[in-house]
Amino acid sequence: MFTIRLASGKEARIHAGHPWIYRSEIARVDDEGEPGAIAHVRDNRGRFLGQATVNLKSQIAGRLLTRQEEPVDAVFFDRRIREAVSRCGRSVRGEDACRLIFGEADHLPGLIVDRYHDLLVIQILTAGMERVREVILEVVKRVVQPRAIYERNDALPRKLEGLELHKGYAWGEGETGIWIREGDLSFFVEVAEGQKTGFFLDQRENRQVVKRLAKGREVLDCFCYSGGFALSAAGGGAASVIGVDLSAEAIAWAERSAQRNGLASRCTFTAANAFDALRAFDREDRRFGLVILDPPAFTKGKETLAGALRGYKEINLRAMKLLAPGGILVTCSCSYHVDASMFLDMLRAAAADARRVFHLVELRTQASDHPVLLAAKETQYLKCAILETLN
């Protein structure tokens, strides 16, 4: 039987509730299976710890599926998927779009499933999940009963697992550009061409906060993508909204959604570099009542952390300077390597340089359909600070 035995002492993380086993922690491999095959995991003294999908090509060689000696079959995945879908149903009510399955945090490592109305978008990120792809598709179809399932297996982490990149319908067919409702707004989502699986579902709850804060304010949404925050602000009664994103395609989607919601007269979207736009507004002495910063992850590793923090500080410093008295900054980071305390320290340094005094009104995180596994810090990646100036 395919079994991995951990080096002495390396079982602690597993005992603490974390699902990962690094390749360097494996002392012995017996009857090695294909990449992604399920192995029994034992500590150095031979005690059973659980069953994991194991891909020795990847740094994260093992991902625990269960701590029981149970069959890992269609019945197992049916139970896990139903649990995840029901967890999502308890946190998201009455919304068209949500994350049904969030990989490790839903005890299904390597699997992402997002729902956009009646269309599901699935992402398989590990060799372990790839091996059970057919089973997963069957169970998901039965449990969720979607119109179609689109597969976004063009995500780069697949390369680390030795998997090829591809996308397309896994089942069913139809338009890949669809309309979803979020609260009382409609958003255009392109599941084949968009970022991630098409929409930033992780910011849903933060968009509601922006909606409440925006009334009567002049708003600047930097890194606006398809207009999630910008349109939420406009919907919440902002006086005017400017959205800036580098992607002309995303800007076109934002404009389309602005039209559909009857908000176009108060919204201006521009395809531009947000760093340049912030600098230009500063030169013009423009002031805003609400600035939103939601940049892409500036670092995906520890090596580039210092540079990333300089980037975050630069945009935050510039945004702080643009705030009118009483202005609000909603500032985010989705870099897992920048943790909440580093993020706040960066904001303190930016505020000091900007000579502005702020209340930290709230420090928020990802929407609750992206659950956080207490033992796995990696599952909590989004920071969203809400700062309000006095001066």
Q: Supply the residues annotated as catalytic.
A: 334
Q: Does 225 bind ligand SAH (CB under 6 A)?
A: yes
155 binds ligand SAH (CB under 6 A): no
What is the spatial distance between Cα 277 and Cα 279, in angstroms, rounded to a whole number? Answer: 5
- Which conformational region is residue 171 in: left (phi greater than 0), alpha (psi within -120 to 50 degrees), or beta? beta
**227-266 footprint of ligand SAH as x/- string (CB under 6 A):** -xx--------------xxxx--x----------------
Q: How far apart are CA 196 and CA 218, in angstroms?
A: 29
8-state DSSP, 34: S
* Residue 381 in the binding site for ligand SAH (CB under 6 A): no
Candidate list 151, 182, 294, 369; residue touching ligand SAH; CB under 6 A: 294
Q: What is the layout of strands, in order, in the sheet containing 26-30?
A: 20-22, 60-66, 48-54, 37-42, 3-6, 26-30
- Closer CB to ligand SAH, residue 116 or residue 225? 225
Stretch that binds ligand SAH, among 39-47, 101-109, 175-183, 272-280 (CB under 6 A): 272-280
Q: DSSP letter at 78?
A: H
Q: Is 339 helix (H, G, I), strand (E, B) or coil?
A: coil
Nearer to ligand SAH, 51 or 176 (CB): 176
Q: Binding pattern to ligand SAH, positions 1-40, x when CB under 6 A? A: ----------------------------------------
- Residue 171-210 contact track with ligand SAH, rule CB under 6 A, x = bound: ------------------------x----x--x-------
Instruction: Quote the CA–CA distance of 8 and 21 in Å, as a whole number.
Output: 13
How many chain residues interact with ligand SAH (CB under 6 A)? 20
Whether residue 127 contacts residue 163, with contact meaning beta carbons closer than 8 Å, is answered with yes
Choose which of 273, 307, 357, 360 interacts with ligand SAH (CB under 6 A).
273
The least CB distance from residue 199 to ligand SAH, in Å, is 7
Burial-class residue 208 by CB neighbours within 10 Å (0-12, 13-18, 19+): middle
Write down the least CB distance from residue 295 to ligand SAH, Å: 6
Q: Which pair of tokens denotes residue 285? A: 């002495």
Angstrom CA distances, 363 to 248, 330, 366, 387, stand at: 31, 10, 11, 9
β-strands 148-153, 218-222: how paired?
Answer: unpaired
Instruction: Specify which residues 29 forms β-bridges with.
Output: 4
Q: Which of 71, 174, 216, 296 binds ligand SAH (CB under 6 A)?
A: 296
Which residues are near ligand SAH by CB under 6 A?
Answer: 195, 200, 203, 223-226, 228-229, 244-247, 250, 273-275, 294-296
